[in-house]
Amino acid sequence: MSSLSTSHAAQKTCLQCKSSKKKCDKGLPRCGRCTRLSLKCLNGPTADLEDTGGNDGTNDSRFDEVFRRLEKLEANAFPRNVTTTEASHTQLLSPPGNSEATGSTEKGSENWTLKAAELGSQWMGWMLWGSLLRVLEQTGRTVQSVMERYFKHIHHWLPMISRTRVAKEYQGFGELEPNAGLTMLVLAMHLVVTSPSEHPNSNRNDLSESPWYRACKHHFAQHIGLLEPELGFIQAGILIALFEHSQGVKGRAHTTIGICARMAYTLDFDVTVAEHSLTDPGEVQPRDAEIVRTWWSLTVMDRYINMPPLTVPKQPVVYQIEGLVSSPLMVENCLIEVEASRMLAQVQAFIRIHRREMQTSFNADSVSIMNAINEYMVMLKARHDTTGDWTGIAVTLGAALQLQCFGVEKRGFLDQETKTLILSLIDELKGVVSQCQNMGGFEEDYLDCIQPSYISIMYLTGYAYQMVCSQSEQPVDEGEMTQITQMLRSLDLRYKMAGEAFRALGGVL
């Protein structure tokens, strides 16, 4: 019996087990471990030939090793053949650091897809990394190309991420221990720089079913639910909320932003912002500066997602801190947009408070807000005359127009003074929007630069014009809104939100 057993055993450990530093039973023609994991067993005479070929113990690159392990994980997590035996369903790779040499058996018999408690943090990182690599493979992009496209466009109006930090972390991106924060961030960047037409196997009219979006949101929920919050997760969440808002994924942007805000409060971001609101630039550490920019971006996005077509703004989850306007921590454009969003927040809060009132008792508060907006517009226009920069103007004008429309709806009539003011605001906003088009033209790459607030403002402009016509009992002149409707149709190629706004105005795509 012993001689028979010996004749069916190899003299050496197979290369698969050797490269993984796992115990091998040296079985022929395939060892037990390779049979169990459906691996190609490099044993017997061929193994001797390959082992003498200068191999250091691994025949594949580190990325090939990652893909092989991930494919095995997925094969067990999502078996293609439902008739496969229960034993084959539950075979997984043992976690890093679990050595069979200690006498313990592989813990691969636990299937975490059926037992959520078995999903360890080390596997979460691997699966997140694997999802990113698979997405990049499907799109033909690289991590670097995704980041470059993000920093070229969206970063200009949402400058929360430190290029220096990301570049430093990217240097170690090829390691077998993935950086969860960076990986999540790049996966979210990929979402916001990708056109709807590029998403695989999905209806572009319902990107909530996009496999790329669902994978990103799944990993985000998994990591924030089971790991400690960190800066990268918050930034990734803000980008996911941007995708959900701009691509019309109903209702989820508010929840995502709320989660990001809670993580930011947990990490005392608001304390950091308050401490550095009046600090000299040279005294602020790079990480604190990035935290401040992230808080500002969170504030701005919280205001953007509550803009029209949303009728009643949701309760804000992030509150601005006094003194930010004088802070030297960030570029001037970012600060101007933050202050414009503060004006918008006042209007949104006003609408929430008075949305059920039918009287005109709130006129005094309305006048006070309008005066503040007018004062800020004087500064913005003077700056524009000097620099030609339109930053902050669209959002501030939009806040004023939304406030006036709300007043008309509550009063139930349109007086001549308000009509003149609304038509003036409409003309100014049409000028801002046309300037936006003239700056770059609606080429696909340029569309990445468009802030979601511009789409909301285009809708609000069309809505206000229709309201004026209705209150004045005059027909709608479609020619007056041709520019707005054409731009919404063009933007629909990139942002589903624009198509929804166009249809809300009565248009047919």
Residue 156 clears pLDDT 80, i.e. is over it:
yes
The tokens for 33 are: 């471990």
For the cut 60, the answer to whether the pLDDT of residue 362 exceeds it is yes
- Give the pLDDT score at 438: 56
Same domain, 129 and 31: no
pLDDT at 444 over 80: no
Average pLDDT over residues 393-417: 93
Q: Assess if residue 217 is contained within a domain.
A: yes
Give the pLDDT of residue 349: 92
CB 293 within 8 A of CB 330: yes
pLDDT on residue 98: 39
Whether the pLDDT of residue 160 is over 60: the answer is: yes
Nearest Cα to 454, choosing from 394, 500, 381? 394
Give the span between the Cα atoms of 483 and 470, in whole angstroms.
Answer: 20
Tokens of 124: 């979460």
Evaluate whether residue 282 is within a structural domain. Answer: no
Which among 207, 241, 267 is the end of a domain? 267
Together in a domain, 208 and 150: yes
Domain boundary among 267, 284, 319: 267
In the prediction, which pLDDT does 142 show? 93
Mention every residue, 6+ apart, whose C-beta is less than 8 A from residue 47.
10, 12, 14, 15
Q: Which pTM value belongs to this model?
A: 0.74
Q: Are residues 36 and 174 in the same domain?
A: no
**Residues 73, 190 within the same domain:** yes
User: Does residue 464 lie in a domain region?
Assistant: no
In a 10 Å sphere around its CB, with 0-12 CB exposed, 13-18 middle and 19+ buried, how is residue 48 labelled?
middle
**pLDDT tier, 85 (very low <50, low <70, confident <90, very high otherwise):** very low
Q: Domain span at residue 69?
A: 62-81+119-267
Residue with the bigger pLDDT between 260 and 448: it is 260
pLDDT in tens, 309-318: 998 888 887 7
User: In this predicted model, what pLDDT tens digit does every residue of 421-439 receive, in sequence order?
Assistant: 999 999 999 988 877 665 4
Whether residue 26 is found in the same domain as residue 158 = no
193 or 48, which is more confident: 193
* pLDDT bracket for residue 37 (50, 70, 90): low
Instruction: Assess contact for 406 and 348: CB atoms under 8 A.
Output: no
pLDDT confidence of 497, banded at 50, 70, 90?
A: very high
Q: How far is CA 446 from the centre of its chain?
A: 19
34 with 172, same domain: the answer is no
| Count of the separate structural domains present in the chain | 2
Mean pLDDT score of the chain: 79
The pLDDT value recorded for residue 268 is: 95
Residues 150 and 205 in one domain: yes
Q: Residue 103's pLDDT is what?
A: 40
What is the model's pLDDT at position 495? Answer: 92
Tell me if 447 sits within 8 A of 493, measured CB to CB: yes
pLDDT of residue 88: 36
Mean pLDDT of 94-110: 40
Task: Give the lowest-confidence range in 65-79, 86-100, 244-258.
Answer: 86-100
Residue 316 lies in a domain: no
Which pLDDT tens digit goes with each residue over 257-303?
Answer: 999 999 999 999 999 988 887 666 567 788 998 999 999 999 999 99
Instruction: Considering only residues 168 and 55, tell me which one the structure prediction assigns the higher pLDDT.
Output: 168
Q: Does 68 share its domain with 170?
A: yes
What is the pLDDT, as a whole number, of residue 311? 85
pLDDT for 469? 93
The answer as to whether 382 is a domain residue is no
Band of pLDDT at residue 1, cut at 50, 70 and 90: very low
Same domain for 7 and 75, yes or no, is no
- Among 156-160, 401-405, 442-446, name the most confident range: 401-405
List beta partners, residue 372. none
Task: With cut-offs at 50, 70 and 90, classify the pLDDT of residue 246.
Answer: very high
Report yes or no on 310 lying in a domain.
no
pLDDT tens for each residue of 52-78: 344 444 444 555 666 666 666 655 544
What pLDDT is stored for residue 91 in this prediction?
A: 37
Position 402 pLDDT exceeds 50: yes
Residue 506's pLDDT band, with cuts at 50, 70 and 90, is: confident
Q: Is the model's pLDDT at 394 over the cut of 60? A: yes
Percent pLDDT > 70 in the chain is 73
Q: What percent of the chain has pLDDT over 90?
A: 46
Q: Are 33 and 17 in contact (CB under 8 A)?
A: yes
pLDDT, tens digit, 9 for 90 and up, residues 319-342? 766 544 434 434 578 888 989 999
More confident residue, 437 or 253: 253
**37 and 125 fall within a common domain:** no
Length of the chain: 509
384 lies in some domain = no
In this model, does residue 308 exceed pLDDT 90? yes
**Residue the block writes with tokens 């003036």:** 424
For residue 473, being part of any structural domain is answered with no
User: What is the Cα 90 distance to its own chain's centre?
Assistant: 33
Question: Do 36 and 69 fall within a single domain?
Answer: no
**Per-position b or e across 144-170, b if 16+ CB within 10 A of its CB:** eebbebbbebbeebbbbbbeebbeebe
Last residue of a domain, one of 248, 267, 286: 267
3 state SS of 265? helix
Same domain, 209 and 76: yes
pLDDT value of residue 417: 93
198, pLDDT greater than 80: yes
